[in-house]
Amino acid sequence: MSVSNLLENWSKVRHTHPVGDVPHEEYKWAMAIDLDACTGCNACSVACYAENNIAVVGKEKYAHGQAMHWMRIERYWDEDEREFPDQGAQFLPMMCQQCEAAPCETVCPVGATNHTADGLNSQVYNRCVGSRYCSANCPFKVRYFNWWDYPDQENAWPDEMKQQLNPDVTVRTKGVMEKCTFCVQRLTAAKNMARNEGRLVKDGEVQTACQQACPTNAISFGNLVDAESRVHKQWKQQQVELAEDAQAKDEYFTDLRGYRILEDLRAYPSVMYLERVRESAI
Amino acid sequence: MIENNFNRRDFLKVLGWGGAAVTLSGCGFTSVQDGTETVVSYVEPTEYALPGIGVYFNSTCAQCDAGCSITGRVREGRALKLEGNAASSINRGKMCGLGQAGVQAHYNPDRLREPMFKGQPVAWDKALGLIDEKVKTLKGDDVAFLTGGMSGHVKVLFKNYMDALGSKNHYVYEAVSPSVVRAANKKAYGVEAPRLRLDKAKAVVSFGADFLGAWVSPVHFSQQYAQFRKGNRPEGRGVLVQIEPKMTLTGANADRWIPLRPGTDGVLALGIIHALAKNGLSVPADVAAAVKDYAPERVSQETGVSVEQIGKLAALLKTHTPSLVLAGDAAEGYQHGSQNAAAIALLNRVLGNVGKTIEAPANVPFPQIAAQGGNRAALQALNGKLASGKVQMLFVHGANPVYTAPLSLKFKENLNKATFKVVFAHYMDETALQADLVLPLDSALEDWATAVPEYLPEGAQLNVQQPLMEKLHAGTRGTGDILLALLKQRRANEYGKFDDFYAYLRNAVVSIKGALGGGGKDEDTFWAETLSEGLVKLPGSGGNLSSKASAAGLHFPAVVEDAAYPLRLIPSVTANMRDGRNANQPWLQESPDPLTTIVWDSWVEIHPKTAAKLGIVEGDIVEVASKSGSIKAQAYLFPGIHPDAVSVPLGYGHEAMGRYAKGVGANAFAMLDAVSDQETGELAMNETRVKIGKTGQRIIVIKEEGVAGGKQAGKKIAARLASDKVDLSKEV
Amino acid sequence: MQSFFRSIILLAGLFFYASSHAADALPPLTTADNLGPKVEQPIEFPHNRHAGLRDPADAGDPSVPAKGGMEINCMYCHTGARRSAVAAIPPLQKCIGCHQTINSVRETPRIQKLFEYWEAKKAIPWKKVHDLPDFVRFNHERHIQRFIFAQGKPVQEACGYCHGDVRAMTVARRSKPLSMGWCATCHQKDHPVDAVSGKTSHGPNDCWQCHK
Amino acid sequence: MSQHHILALYNNFEEAETAIAELRAADIKGFNFDDLTLKSPIEHHEVEEVLGNRPANVQWFTLGGALMGGLLGFFLISGAQANFYSQLKGGKPIVPLPPNFVLTYEMFILGGVFITVLGFLVCAGLPAKRSPLYSAKVSEDQVGILVKADAAAAPTLKGIFAKHQAIEIQEEAGK
Amino acid sequence: MGKDIREDISWAKINEDVLRSLESPRRLYWVILLVAMLAFSVGIGCEVYQYNVGMGVANLDNPHVWGLYIATFIFWIGMSHSGTLLSAILHLMHADWRKPIYRFAEAMTTFSLMTAGLFVMVHLGRLWQFYYSLPYPNERALWPNFQSPLLWDAMAIFTYLSSSVIFLFIGMIPDLAICRDHLHPGWRKKLYTLLALGWEGTDRQWRNFRITYLTVACFLIPLAVSVHSIVASDFAMSQQPGWHVTSFPPYFVAGALYSGCAAIVTLFIILRYVFKFEEYMTLPILKKTVRLTFAIAMVWTYLNAVEFAAVWYSHDQAAKDVLIQKATGPYAPFWWMMIFCGSVVPLTLAFKRFQTNIPVLFAVSLLLNLGMWLERWMIVAPTFSHGYYPWTWDHNQWPSLIQWGMVFGSFGWFALLFMVFCKVFPSVSMYEVKEMVYHRRLASESQAAAKGAH
């Protein structure tokens, strides 16, 4: 791209995102996770392992904090020092939040992680040199680094199990950063099919592995641009704005459950969580 | 390399295309390669398989007995991933982690590859020949069969083979099963597995039924639960109260989790009835009489549940009708387990839930293929028979008794009194090691079978299990094929015409197509449709339900404390491990336990108060000792457990079975006291009393949870609202 | 003194040239041919006989050696190309399908070999010639749909853009770099979206479109 | 007309200076004052008055180099950022100015330093062949004066050198 | 206080003294060289192992993705700064006491930069793909991400390294000429002849030399500042609590000068002994350096306080938590040690008695550098252990021996380069010492004359 071209498209290369940006045209993949429905059963996590060729690291490496689970279920207790947690535990599925203004993107020295046109936070394994700056700058710490050469680790994929590997997903070798991709391989396939038919992907046509597995339908995923999509409706109903770092509704509509984690860091996550509801009377 | 019954399934052949070996080079070479990799094409084309495009086949999940229908994604002949089959009324397209790991059962590196006779590989015909000779020399009563719960045509073949041998000794055994509740249901409702309608209930009070985790049909119940929680459902958002000594996954999701003194479930149930009567709920006279001594104060004092809480419960149940009261593992695992279950059934009756949220299950038109649920009493019975040396020959299928039997039963010794033991197995597990003859089975993704789930949420359905891909190992065989071969030895004239189990199955299903609602269709269409659907919905009347739960003869022995063994052991059934049959699947080992977040090991849950008393901190290796055995495991301070109890997960501590299972954790089955429920004779899982001692070792517990220990440090991460603060009606 | 000014000017020139060039720098590659190595195939399959032009007269440009080709459409055999990510090698049966009836060449060594495979019901272990790294996701379907079906390019041209002039080859041989930059040279051009409307669009530039 | 090189070595700068001053004053036929070179072990700019102002132009290289470095930096970077694969990163513009200024600044300095040094070599005429008359003493502790003149002028020059206590006078007939 | 240097040293003697250092150092020199080689080979071993097995051997994890490599990288960058301080800043200030010692200071700059560069490499998960991060037209038509502070680092370090090498070389040309003229034939003489570029000390050469040296010095000062502020922005530009601090750039620069000065004191003492430079690296000069170090130490201490205060009064709870974590958490011992070495130990330098006491200074200078190394570690590690997201807090992660091995090895590598340099090239600038002596003599003579006049 030549200097002249740079000067021609100056305004084009100068706008910021998502604030003051041209909005996403065709797709903006987003999620809504209903913590009231989520039972913390781990099905999504295992489904993710199955879909995305995630390595099983084994006891010893897990002990070193080198687990690779792209989707982790976090379990929280109430913090008032009651003798028993008689309101149960709080579960939270945490995966890459696909931030609109992701802190990880700017710092990658080789540009291996970027914001795609569909509003995803792409991670290009083969471009990654392993500086790990992205993970260092990730507020949620949902990026996982290949500390070891898992493809060659006997316990990760013995020969028989190699046959289970999903050919649509690269198997990451040592020294590469990886993270949740919103099952981009499925998205790409769906988009291609839609393009062949000269249309856009319809809601429900494509599911992420975690969403598809979730026994309580706690996870809904779809195209935020598409007004018909469930996700769009949920975000709208909960009055959560993608390009806000503090939701206006929090001021006066306290009876809405939608929120995004660490919103004030201005990363503009694409995952909206719905607060858990608990009966106060009993 | 392909079994003859597969060559019509040519599209199952594995292609080299995008083969795993290649995929593994992952971020390896970064430039174009020429002529190094091979592309193998089909010899003959099929309309199904196009390289690069996934094909989907419907089948049935065999990871547990819930009988979820699955859809397997197959590419280039390799089964890659399992999804739920939306057509099934059980899991409606959803799946649990256990089911997802099904592919790892299939691709497992530790699977048996060929028949073994006394540790030596033998050819199949030799192996089957050995059985033939042996059974010839025995009379039917000397032969016994120990199987897991079974149904469908495999069950039929089993029965027929037993008839052929003239053996009546069929022991259907499940180490973890709601067998006491089953019996209680039979008494109270006339059916063993009534339909439970959480989705209709306004309130659910569950006495230790972990229906979200590992109880009966978790995926189905999870979906009902989601409905139950919907704010915009006509009944409004349901309220869940979980009453149990050890918090289960369900307990963790309850609006109120009530820690109960172990074993006092029945007392509390009656106490609630008492309170309800007080609050003016009309209660039949006999019941009123039976519960009159169960005044809140007494109940509170026995159960450890506050009077106020009992009042609240009664109030809740009074206002929220219909409601649903469940009796689960935590309630049934006692000497008086049946009593507990009965009392809870009584509560349901008093609340008038029977027929509203407890409905009659559809009855299965063909009893011979209906599910036969396993129970624990079977093992004790067989054990007795083995001990007395009455069993010469034993067939074991779908069970691992040597691992799951409490040491106090001395099962292993007794087992070896049988002279010829045949074990059908996927892995060289503890039982297979004891066997004379081990017959390696096809994985669930290679094998043919049909199944009728024991718990039928809607109409009865016949699930078809069909191969998703060609066999990985030439040496394995399907259960059906083995049985067929055995039957041919005995009844050649009857079974000679089927050259394999597939032929038998097709014939068997097609022959009853009329009854299966395929009357109009010709055989091939019907069969093709059945296979592509993966299941057949059985027409047929819903059964009927009787509400005859009675207060008669309900009595609860006062809890006797044992000074030597002050604590109660609650062996917990976790969603990952269940009874340990799937322990060799690494995804399950590495997926953290939802509550403790511990991986790759078993643990001892202790309430912080108790731990403080004993001077135990997290990571201490403690010895949990009962009268009949002891284990060593890491201590985990867990607030969600009654101070008088400790809990250890089942399913860990295998001594064999494979690289991922062997030596991981400790086996809690082994240390159970052989105490049984008085009425059903079921092993009482929670009756074991234990003491805890420090060994002096301390380790860092390997878990997902970090130093913050489930605290949110004042940030809004996992947020929660009180139900009266939120308006759910308008939600999408 | 003026020698010094001359050198200054010279330097300035150098710098500006360098800077503008470096900034403009695109892949050093154009669509220039760069032949891959010869690949040993189990059967030396003559693409020219199958896809080549029937006789030189038809051949628009004489450079195309087209002695008695069959002008078979690429997608007659590579059926995957229009509906799958991979073009696919035809199943052995397809070869046999025609060759049973073609007795003229029935006895030639290559065809005999072909039938040996067929009788043994063994798949032919072809070697992959255009083998992109595993982290690359090239979708034949989209390209074929876009350029042949939507835009109506002749098949040979569309396929040939990446695979070279197969009509002139016996065993196929890589004749384009297939490097990332080379892909880009085409992706960044504006291509008509279909035959009728004048609309154009360039190929995707999003990493995840082609990398997995 | 043949040229002669004469090198005179002095013990200190004072003597050297006076010698130079005289040479400059005395208009000797066949000797051009610009052909006089002073060689010293240390840098000593007082002599410049006597030598008259001789140009040093390195600073111009510096200016040019720095400016061009900066320009190159900015356009290379911005141009590269706006290439076909340009992808949004962290919501920042595709061509974000602050980072580019940082790098422009570095390139500015880089260009400056490199070209300055280039300039130094050009202006100081380095690397150079050793001049016909050179004494290692110059790099130790003596000050040398090298002149180029017609053979005719040589005696006069030597005379003047000697007058100012030259330690040593070397002569050589050049081309 | 004695004179910085004897004014009656003859120029010839200067030549011969310094040239002798190229021939016959004390035996200690060889000992140091040997130890350095051993240390370096340890580092090499660790890297080879890590390269083959994977970063896991460093015992890093999620969230602890950075470790000693980055910390030590900053340390070495910092070390490089005072070379510039002495040669450039003091040059502009005409502080001529720098002349005998700036040469080795510059060498130190150059080599510590090279060492720092190594750590960027060993830190990378895929060292073999390093070239992805270089901006050059390639067949992928891809460029590195110019927004990334890491890339700024690379650029800044490249600029700084090349510039200081040039600066070092230019400044050495006249000395190389001396070596060329006064060393007996051999490969070295050839080398010097080549490098001296035919320098003859003509007026024309000196004239341009002066300007060039001055200009490059002027460029080097802002460059040095920018380099370390860019290193600081690796952290300041990030969003993490404890890193996202506005005062980091100046703080880093101060720290850099600080550790650099300390290192100069150390090396001063070593060289002085090893090469018998007592005549030139005199105690008065050492005293000046030490005072400079003390001043900067106080600046650093102040900026430290400022940073804490800034965090303390901010509303950024996360940042506060991290700070508290540093002072009380698992890293507390190291953190307090850093405070002690960095702010308390230098107080000894305030005492005249110690300002020229070589053993004390040696010990102190080492402690100061230890403190500064700890500072870098305490910047990097605690933020990871206690970041924004409580679930991933991880307080018991410690570097493996592999990491320590490479840190250790880097000192070997540095010492190796430095010692070889001092043996091959004059580590005291002869021509400038001559100038120094000359001008000082003139000065004192004129003073004497002035006295006489009265």
Q: pLDDT band at B347, cuts 50/70/90?
A: very high
DSSP letters, B60-112, are: E--SSTT--EEEEEEETTEEEEEEE-TT-TTTTT---HHHHTHHHHHS-TTB-
Q: B592 CA to chain A: closest CA distance, Å? A: 8
**Listed residue (A56, A50, A72) closest to A169, CA to CA:** A50
Which residue of chain B is at minimal alpha-carbon distance from C138?
Answer: B52
Strand order in B437-440's β-sheet?
B120-121, B116-117, B437-440, B420-425, B393-397, B143-147, B169-172
Instruction: Tell me how far the alpha carbon of residue D80 is from its chain's centroid.
Output: 38
User: Quick check: D94 contacting A, CB < 8 Å?
Assistant: yes
pLDDT of residue B497: 92
Distance CA A89, CA B250 (A): 10
For testing contact with chain A, the best of C208, C209, C210 (most A CBs within 10 A): C208
**Under an 8 A CB cutoff, do E390 and B706 touch?**
yes
**Listed residue (C198, C106, C118) closest to C151, CA to CA:** C198
Q: Which residues pair with B621 in a beta bridge?
A: B634
**What is the 8-class DSSP label of residue B592?**
P
Is there a contact between A125 and A176 (Cβ–Cβ < 8 Å)? Answer: yes
Give the lowest-confidence range in B216-230, D140-154, E214-228: D140-154
Residues B423-479 pLDDT 10s: 999 999 999 999 999 999 999 999 999 999 999 988 889 999 999 988 889 999 999
Give the lowest-confidence range in B586-600, B679-693, D43-57, E360-374: D43-57
pLDDT of residue C93: 87
**Under an 8 A CB cutoff, do D88 and A114 touch?**
yes
Q: Residue A85: is its pLDDT beyond 80?
A: yes
Residue E63: is the preceding peptide bond cis (ω within 30°)? Answer: yes
pLDDT of residue C3: 55
* Chains contacting chain B through 3 or more C-beta pairs under 8 A: A, C, E
Counting beta carbons within 10 angstroms of the beta carbon of residue B153, is it exposed (0 to 12), middle (13 to 18) or buried (19 or more)? buried
Residues B652-664 pLDDT 10s: 999 999 999 999 9
- For C126, the closest of B38, B42, B43 (CB atoms) is B38
Q: One-letter amino acid identity for B280? A: G
Which residue of chain D is at minimal alpha-carbon distance from E140?
Answer: D85
Q: Residue B551: is its pLDDT beyond 70?
A: yes
Pairing of β B393-397 and β B143-147: parallel
Residues B438-454 pLDDT 10s: 999 999 999 999 999 99
* Chains contacting chain E through 3 or more C-beta pairs under 8 A: A, B, C, D
pLDDT of residue C31: 40
Q: A30 CA to chain C: closest CA distance, Å? A: 17
pLDDT of residue A116: 92
Chain C residues near residue B53 by CB distance under 8 angstroms? 83-85
**Listed residue (B708, C197, A56) closest to E325, CA to CA:** B708
Distance CA E248, CA E75 (A): 15
Residue E146 tokens, joined:
């110019």
| CB neighbours of residue E286 within 10 Å | 21
Q: Residue C12: is its pLDDT beyond 70?
A: no
The four Cα atoms B537, B538, B541, B543 give a dihedral, to 10 degrees, of -90
Residue E373 tokens, joined:
């190394």
User: Quick check: C59 contacting B, CB < 8 Å?
Assistant: no
Arithmetic mean of pLDDT, C144-171 = 89
**What is the 8-class DSSP label of residue B173?**
B
Counting beta carbons within 10 angstroms of the beta carbon of residue D159, is it exposed (0 to 12), middle (13 to 18) or buried (19 or more)? exposed
What are the b/e assignments for B562-591, b being 16+ CB within 10 Å? eeebebbbbbbbbbbbbbbbbbbbbbbbbb
Task: Compute the 3-state secondary structure of chain C and give helix, strand, coil in percent, each to the nearest 5.
Answer: 45, 5, 50
Q: How many residue pairs from chains A and C have C-beta atoms closer than 8 A? A: 56
Q: pLDDT band at C6, cuts 50/70/90?
A: low
Residues B5-37 pLDDT 10s: 333 344 445 554 433 334 444 444 556 667 677
Q: Residue B650: is its pLDDT beyond 90?
A: yes
Which residue of chain D is at minimal alpha-carbon distance from C9?
Answer: D64
**Under an 8 A CB cutoff, do D91 and A3 touch?**
no
- Which of A207-216, D92-101, D145-154 shows the highest mean pLDDT? A207-216
Give the lowest-confidence range in B285-299, C9-23, E367-381, E405-419: C9-23
Pairing of β B461-465 and β B449-451: antiparallel
Is there a contact between B581 and B400 (Cβ–Cβ < 8 Å)? Answer: yes
pLDDT of residue A21: 74
Q: Do chains D and B touch (3 or more CB pairs under 8 A)?
A: no
Residues of A with CB under 8 A from a CB of D: 1-3, 5-6, 9-10, 12-19, 21, 100-108, 111, 114-116, 122, 268
Residues B161-180 pLDDT 10s: 999 999 999 999 999 999 99
Give the lowest-confidence range in B166-170, E308-312, E401-405: E308-312
For testing contact with chain D, the best of C1, C3, C4, C9 (most D CBs within 10 A): C4
pLDDT of residue B20: 36
Q: Residue B4: is its pLDDT beyond 80?
A: no
What are the b/e assignments for E131-164, b being 16+ CB within 10 Å? ebbebebbbbbbbbbbbbbbbbbbbbbebbbebb
Q: One-letter amino acid identity for E59? A: N
Q: Which residues pair with B438 in a beta bridge?
A: B116, B423
Q: Dihedral sign, CA of B227, B232, B236, B242?
A: positive
Distance CA B343, CA B349 (A): 10
pLDDT of residue A53: 92
In SS3 terms, chain E reads as CCCCCCCCCCHHHHHHHHHHHHHCCCHHHHHHHHHHHHHHHHHHHHHHHHHHHCHHHHCCCCCCCCCHHHHHHHHHHHHHHHHHHHHHHHHHCCCHHHCCCHHHHHHHHHHHHHHHHHHHHHHCCCHHHHHHHCCCCCCCCCCCCCCCHHHHHHHHHHHHHHHHHHHHHHHHHHHHHHHHHHCCCCHHHHHHHHHCCCCCCEHHHHHHHHHHHHHHHHHHHHHHHHHHHHHHHHHHCCCCCCCCCCCHHHHHHHHHHHHHHHHHHHHHHHHHHHCCCCCCCCHHHHHHHHHHHHHHHHHHHHHHHHHHHHHHHCCCHHHHHHHHHHHHCCCHHHHHHHHHHHHHHHHHHHCHHHHCCHHHHHHHHHHHHHHHHHHHHHHHHHHHHCCCCHHHCCCCCCCCHHHHHHHHHHHHHHHHHHHHHHHHCCCCCHHHHHHHHHHHHHHHHHHHHHHHHC
- Which of B104-108, B536-540, C196-200 shows the highest mean pLDDT? B104-108
Residue C132 tokens, joined:
């992109």
pLDDT of residue B9: 43
User: Quick check: E207 contacting D, CB < 8 Å?
Assistant: yes
pLDDT of residue D86: 86
Q: Say which residue the tokens 């997903």 belong to.
A: A169
pLDDT of residue B85: 94
- For B53, the closest of C84, C89, C133 (CB atoms) is C84
Distance CA C123, CA C92 (A): 7
Q: Say which residue the tokens 């009074």 belong to.
A: B318
User: Quick check: A94 contacting E, CB < 8 Å?
Assistant: yes
**Under an 8 A CB cutoff, do E393 and B708 touch?**
yes
**Under an 8 A CB cutoff, do A137 and E240 touch?**
yes
Distance CA A130, CA E51 (A): 12
Residue B167 tokens, joined:
């053996």
How far from E51 is each of A109, A124, B612, CA to CA, in Å?
20, 21, 47
Q: A118 CA to chain C: closest CA distance, Å? A: 9
Chain C residues near residue D83 by CB distance under 8 angstroms? 26
Residues C70-115 pLDDT 10s: 889 999 999 889 988 888 888 888 889 889 888 888 888 999 999 9
Residues D7-36 pLDDT 10s: 888 888 888 888 888 888 877 777 777 778
**ipTM score:** 0.90
Mean pLDDT, rounded, of chain B: 90
Residues B52-69 pLDDT 10s: 888 899 999 999 999 999
**What is the 8-class DSSP label of residue B558?**
P
**Listed residue (D89, C209, E120) closest to A113, CA to CA:** D89
DSSP letters, A182-200, are: SSHHHHHHHHHHHHHTTSP
Distance CA B77, CA B84 (A): 20
Pairing of β B169-172 and β B143-147: parallel
Arithmetic mean of pLDDT, D133-141 = 80
Residues B666-707 pLDDT 10s: 999 999 999 999 999 999 999 999 999 999 999 999 999 989
Residue E256 tokens, joined:
């850099």
**Under an 8 A CB cutoff, do B706 and E396 touch?**
no
Which residue of chain C is at minimal alpha-carbon distance from D122?
Answer: C4
Q: Residue D2: is its pLDDT beyond 60?
A: yes
Q: C188 CA to chain A: closest CA distance, Å? A: 10
Q: Say which residue the tokens 């004695």 belong to.
A: E2
Give the lowest-confidence range in A41-45, B601-605, C161-165, E340-344: C161-165
User: Quick check: B1 contacting C, CB < 8 Å?
Assistant: no
Residues B193-244 pLDDT 10s: 999 999 999 999 999 999 999 999 999 999 999 999 998 888 889 999 999 9
